[in-house]
Structure 1
């Protein structure tokens, strides 16, 4: 059985300056997590908390563990409208520890440069400065470039995974795009829309 990692030779991965800088980026008006540490306090005391949190964060990375409270979240229902009357009028918001969020952001800043060379160039999710609009523009550009060649068709399959009150929903949309009589327009025909429910 492998011995647990030794804590005598602590290799600094995260510096105190990085911790202070990340704490100063916190938004003070946000709600506190289960540990009751509000971001206003962490931001105000960033200079004093930099070194203690640096030791805790580095030890956590070295041992491969985080405190249980940091992994806990409080689910708070937030109304979508002024006068909610049913459960669907609320959206669940998970309040998690800002210490855990700070550690995640710092670790991500260290991890991203190491894996950036292996990322797919067509990955639009979880990328800085890239979003859904970029994915849609890329898809439309590919479809229109193919249709501009004339007498072509494009078939697109959309999958949407949703969890609504414990019911796993998969929405499948099959779109058939073909060249219309006018070259400047395309005819979008919705062929199939299916719903699958499971694990209710």
Structure 2
């Protein structure tokens, strides 16, 4: 019978030593990198929540964004063209969106008193309720994460960030959209 016991060397090499890692002092660049990472993660979570909250209600995220846009109009109504421009949709996609929301009972079309050739879109009570329910998710998150004494400062930071992004986007006239999103709670 053959001995199958493994033969170990009498002398083992030394165990590797972990290198000394020094953590640099935070610099404006590392602080900026951390801020950008946090912002990207916030964008991902925002998209996930928007998708989930919309899907629970049988909607697409774009449908919900349209409801927020209409809610920010404070009952004044908006034209389908304004919706399409705000959401950056083609006329065909805008028509499908409006038809879908109307079929769900979340919006209705009313004659535009200023232009007989067009209509104004208005939220129905169910559309308003959906916008409020989804907006409440963000309101709750802000309430949980931002102390009341920090809210005005954070509002200013977000407004300045929105304006800075607008200036760098090359897209003219987007300031109103940023304000509309903020007013809608998104």
Bigger Cα Rg: 2
Report the TM-score when normalising by structure 1.
0.22
